[in-house]
Amino acid sequence: MKKSFLALLPVLVIGLFVNVNCQNSKDATIKEFVKGISAFDNEKFSAHEPIKSFNDAAKKIAAKTLSVTKSNITTILLEAKNYKHAIITVGNHTIVKISDFEKCSPSTAWSVCMPKGEGYIQKGGMESKSDFINNIIGSPDSQTRTIYFFN
């Protein structure tokens, strides 16, 4: 029994190291993602739930926050052009920054031309995405989608 445990010990230590390293990289990913938005200079993000941490902080420091729905997306995208940064989150698993309003793709699901964006989907680690935002935030449904505006 003792020999079995000793044989498994290195595997357990490596597994723990990989898990901690993965968690820390999620935290670092979100810190890098909001770099340049001065409102986040002093914010800390949870390595375990970095998008939830972003949501919690953004609610306090964003210039404006709105819920994103199919019925208001056209107005939201027009308003977003008046801000330096516009970031949309979907629940606690997806975050996308609108990067280019000039390049857009018509979306039948959203009934508007959706701009380019860059973001992350949390699937274990943080999976990078660069596409039109409808392909990152998905189709309108019951998930909570929030947009944060920053100057």
**What does the pLDDT look like over 33-49, one tens digit per residue?**
888 787 787 788 887 88
In this prediction, residue 12 carries a pLDDT of 38
pLDDT digit string, tens, across residues 101-149:
999 999 999 999 999 999 999 988 899 999 999 999 999 999 999 999 9
pTM for the structure as a whole = 0.81
| Residue 61 scores a pLDDT above 90 | yes
Residue span of the structural domain in which 106 resides? 2-150
What is the C-alpha separation between 114 and 97, in angstroms, rounded? 12
In this prediction, residue 110 carries a pLDDT of 98
Number of structural domains, the chain? 1
Phi-psi region of 86 (alpha: psi -120 to 50; beta: other; left: phi over 0): beta
In this prediction, residue 85 carries a pLDDT of 96
DSSP 39: G
> Span 11-17, mean pLDDT?
41
Which whole-number Å values give the CA distances from 14 to 1, 8, 124, in the listed order? 21, 10, 17
